[in-house]
């Protein structure tokens, strides 16, 4: 696609429910990143994919968070048993170069609200 | 571990004037890349400018330029002839070939008419 597409753009869920967030990167971009941005704050790294392997998942905050990627295509971030502290904007980005040295192209994010 | 610090949470500037946003960083790597990203209220993060650490020449993109001081580990962004559309949150970021980038906490810039 022309850009990085994320869905849904907004999600309201009840505490304790599971949610799935989707990211469709730019075609041909081998690297894919998930970040979390709490209101008015910076970006917190969650996980990085190179192809469909995840060489760095050090930022996942707990075992309630998981992510997978199909080849060099769509990625899904799953949050199980959501908590109010999970409320944030979840940003996905992709990069043509494995190392991300030319910068990222970001999606518009998914705003998750846990009530 | 890498760190990126933006010490100015908020700034404002009059339209058509010049403003400088500050960023300092720390890394033990000798080869790295620095970026400034813009996040307008629409939430879409956009890459503004990129600097390669091994290049002494400061990067420039139209009205945006950087002052890269490698020894001081400083990477400031200068916006000339500020426009209302420059109103956004600006993030400084560092990438050290490890794949992921480390971001600062951002500076909210308001351009006043």
Domain map of chain B by residue range? Answer: 3-112
Q: How far is CA A104 from CA A101, A112, B6, B45, B85, in A?
A: 8, 22, 20, 9, 21
| Interface contact B91-A91, CB threshold 8 A | no
User: For the domain B3-112, what is the CATH code?
Assistant: 2.60.40.10
Rg (chain A; Cα; Å):
13
Alpha carbon distance A111, B95 (integer Å): 26
At residue A97, the pLDDT reads 78
Q: Which domains, ranges and CATH numbers included, belong to chain A?
A: 5-114 (2.60.40.10)
Residues of chain B under the 50 pLDDT cut: none
pLDDT at A2: 78
For A36, the closest chain B residue by CA position comes to B103
Distance, in Å, from the CA atom of A19 to the CA atom of A77, rounded to the nearest integer, reads 8
- Spatial CB neighbours of B40, under 8 Å, sequence gap ≥ 6: B46, B85, B87, B88, B89
> What average pLDDT does the segment A6-35 reach?
96
pLDDT number for residue B37:
97
Partners of residue B46 in chain A, C-beta under 8 Å: 106
Residues in chain B: 113
Give yes or no for residue A1 having a pLDDT over 60: no
Euclidean distance between CA atoms B77 and B35, whole angstroms: 10
Q: In what side-by-side order are the strands of the sheet with A75-79?
A: A5-7, A19-24, A75-79, A65-69
Q: What pLDDT score does B110 carry?
A: 97
Taking CB atoms and an 8 Å limit, are B44 and A93 in contact across chains? Answer: no
* Mean pLDDT value of segment A48-71: 91
**pLDDT value of residue A102:** 84
Cross-chain residue pair B99–A105, CB shorter than 8 Å? no
A48/B99 touch (CB, cutoff 8 Å), yes or no: yes
Residue % of chain A over a pLDDT of 90: 74
Q: Does B106 touch chain A (CB under 8 A)?
A: yes
């Amino acid at each position: 696609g022309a850009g990085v597409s994320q869905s849904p753009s907004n999600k309201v869920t009840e505490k304790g429910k599971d949610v799935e967030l989707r990211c469709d990167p730019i075609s041909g971009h081998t690297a894919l990143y998930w970040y979390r941005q709490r209101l008015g704050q910076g970006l917190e790294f969650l996980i990085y994919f190179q192809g469909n392997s995840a060489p760095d998942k050090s930022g996942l905050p707990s075992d309630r968070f998981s992510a997978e990627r199909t080849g060099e295509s769509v990625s899904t971030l799953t949050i199980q048993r959501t908590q109010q502290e999970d409320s944030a904007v979840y940003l996905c980005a992709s990069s043509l170069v494995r190392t991300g040295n030319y910068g990222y192209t970001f999606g518009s994010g998914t705003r998750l609200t846990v009530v | 571990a890498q760190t990126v610090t933006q010490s100015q949470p908020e700034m404002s500037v009059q339209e058509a004037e010049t403003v400088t946003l500050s960023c300092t960083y720390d890394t033990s790597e000798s080869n790295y890349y620095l970026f400034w990203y813009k996040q307008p209220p629409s939430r879409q993060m956009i890459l503004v400018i990129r600097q390669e650490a091994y290049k002494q020449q400061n990067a420039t993109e139209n009205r945006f330029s950087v002052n890269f001081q490698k020894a001081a580990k400083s990477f400031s962004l200068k916006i000339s002839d500020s426009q209302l559309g420059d109103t956004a949150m600006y993030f400084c970021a560092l990438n050290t070939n490890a794949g992921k980038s480390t971001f600062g906490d951002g500076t909210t810039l308001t351009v006043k008419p």
